[in-house]
Amino acid sequence: MPNILDIRRRIRSVINTRQITKAMKTVSAAKLRRAQEAALAARPYAQMLTNVLKSLISRADVYDPVTGEPFHPLLVERPEKTVLLIVVTGDKGLAGAFNTNILRMASRFLQSKLEENIDLECIGRKGRDFMRRRYPTAPQRPDEALKNSATENEATENEQTAVSLAQRETEPAPPRAGRVQITGEYVGVLGKVDHNFANTLSQKLIGRYTRGEIDAVYILFNEFKSVLAQRLVAERLLPIKEIGEIDVQMAEEPTQEERQKRIEAAKSTGVGMRRADISAVDEAASTFARSPVDYIYEQPPRQLFEGILPKYVAIQIFRALLESIAAEHAARMTAMDAATSNASDMIDSLTLAMNRARQAKITKEIIEIVSGAAAAQ
Amino acid sequence: MSNTFQLEIVTPSRLIVQEAAEEAQIPGASGYMGILPGHAPLITELAVGVITYRTNSTAHTLSVAWGFAEALPDKVTILAETAERPQEIDVPRAQKAKERAEQRLKSNDPELDYTRAEGALQRAETRLNVAQSAGKEK
């Protein structure tokens, strides 16, 4: 017969666990809300940037009129010999299958590119740990080591990295550590992600891309439109195929079961499931640089275009980071919601078992008394 | 025609200003320009500098680093990579950044990226200027 005291002790411990998971759920819900707001706040800028670029395309002679080939190196497609993949995971665990799913997809991506050399940039501790166990770290140039440490403490607008590009171009790239190698890792940047980080990273990528060290840049992350509309995507950042179009190369939709769990979690925490109303924001932004008038361009359109294009890459990275953060919090919220309800179920069944055991004990005692009394008569 | 225009200043992280302004001075890449209501449609790149704008006869200043602006007769939109109001500026940090940049410019290092160090110095100085000018007003 199970010991009543033992069962009671277990119940108490499960109650404690439930309290923790419940608290974590609430915290994640609050963080999710904030992350959603941040993602929303970044939209007007991104939209306006895209608009200016689009309106400049027609005037800036971006494409060769005869061959249709773009002039700007970031627009030119070339055979993919070396591919750079940015993997965005979380810094922390306890978020259900969030990190696992991303890393599984990363492995699939790597499987699909067996012919090419691959450079990895890992954002988030989980992804870094995973990749480090499998792939060697590339030998770093001294200036890039500086750059990485700069992004970790304070990337004050990239002031640490004052090395001339001309100088770098003459240096040959260091030999590869392997077909797949890690060229950068960023841990602890997700807590408070800022545009500077995205800017620094995009400058590094653009530099390597224009020097021909890499032929394409992909970013793999958990896209987050709302609690319901999420998926894993691998987008191509470079070369830019068409401005304003997201070039999705690979996507993985969540299963029905995952979706159901998310709905439950969102309901119980009161987080809105639908996409926030962004139409007003988007509308205001979409008129930017779109007026049907001839603008006076203070600088030659071409120069404007070339100044803005790198920022476009940065804002794409920024958006990916913001969405990934929101998705991570949503995943943790879902996981903790499931854990809380599991704990509740467990408490119920343990309470039932305890009551049964107690009833059995009482019955046994009564029988003993009754049969003792009967024997005495 | 109305004597104000709608001024919006947008950064990647937020919409920082959304007001009706009577006048704005913005640091265009080829020099400062003043914008009054009814300006001809214009698009310009921004340099590092100070935006000054007037609403109800009170002047406001902001420091910006890189961006671009669109001016329309009734609306001016400024996209800036960073834009800070004077009270938001982290003065010690700007001070430090300035010293660092100055040191680098003096160092005679052949590997020095001159434009970049110069840019950093400019940003730091602009921030300090904006922060100081606001301090005087108080």
CB contact under 8 A, B29 and A298: yes
The one-letter amino acid code at B11 reads T
Residue in B7, B39, B88, B116 to test binding to A, most A beta-carbons within 10 Å: B116
Please state the φ and ψ torsions of residue B41, each to the nearest 5 degrees.
-55, 130
Q: Angle, to 10 degrees, between the axis of helix B114-137 and the axis of helix B91-106?
A: 150
Query: Would you place residue B83 in the very low, low, confident or very high pLDDT band (cuts 50, 70, 90)?
Result: confident
Handedness of CA A182, A184, A190, A194 (dihedral sign): negative
- State the Cα–Cα distance between residues B6 and A122, nearest whole angstrom: 42
Looking at residues B66-89, what average pLDDT do you find?
A: 84
- State the Cα–Cα distance between residues A223 and A260, nearest whole angstrom: 18
Domain ranges of chain A: 42-327
Nearest by CB to residue B65, choosing from A157, A293, A294, is: A157
The reply to whether B106 touches chain A by the CB within 8 Å rule is no
Q: Angle, to 10 degrees, between the axis of helix A98-112 and the axis of helix A125-134?
A: 40
Chain A hits for B93, CB-CB cut-off 8 Å, are: 156
The reply to whether B116 touches chain A by the CB within 8 Å rule is yes
Say which CATH class B90-137 falls into: mainly alpha
Domain ranges of chain B: 5-84, 90-137
Min Cα separation B135/chain A (Å): 24
The reply to whether A34 touches chain B by the CB within 8 Å rule is no
Listed in sequence order, the DSSP H helices in A175-278 are 195-210, 256-269
**Residue B114: pLDDT over 90:** no
Handedness of CA A8, A13, A16, A22 (dihedral sign): negative
Along the 377 residues of chain A, how does pLDDT read in single tens digits? Answer: 578 899 999 999 999 999 999 999 999 999 999 998 888 888 888 888 888 887 777 666 666 666 666 777 788 888 888 999 999 999 988 888 899 999 999 999 998 888 889 999 999 999 999 999 988 888 766 555 444 444 444 434 444 343 344 444 455 566 787 888 888 888 888 887 788 888 889 988 998 898 888 899 999 999 888 887 788 888 888 888 777 677 777 777 777 777 777 777 777 776 665 555 555 556 666 666 666 667 788 888 778 888 888 888 998 899 899 999 999 999 999 999 999 999 999 999 999 999 999 999 999 999 999 999 999 88
Radius of gyration of chain A (CA): 28
Q: Which CATH number fits domain A42-327: 3.30.360.10, 2.40.50.100, 3.40.1380.10, 2.40.10.480?
A: 3.40.1380.10
The reply to whether A244 touches chain B by the CB within 8 Å rule is no
Residue of chain B minimizing CA distance to A157 = B120
Choose among B57, B116, B114: nearest CA to A158: B116
- State the Cα–Cα distance between residues A110 and A115, nearest whole angstrom: 10
Q: What is the pLDDT of residue A194?
A: 80
Token representation of residue A185: 């890792």
Choose among A180, A186, A188: nearest CA to A200: A186
- State the Cα–Cα distance between residues A331 and A25, nearest whole angstrom: 10
Q: What is the pLDDT of residue A193?
A: 79
CATH superfamily, with its number, for domain B5-84: F0F1 ATP synthase delta/epsilon subunit, N-terminal (2.60.15.10)
Identify the H or E element spanning B59. Answer: strand B58-72
Higher pLDDT, B18 or A345: A345
Higher pLDDT, B107 or A26: A26
The reply to whether A58 touches chain B by the CB within 8 Å rule is no
- What is the b/e burial string over B12-22, where b = at least 16 CB atoms within 10 angstroms of the residue's CB? bbeebbeeebb
Q: What is the pLDDT of residue A278?
A: 58
Listed in sequence order, the DSSP H helices in chain B are 91-106, 114-137
Give pTM, 2 decimals: 0.81
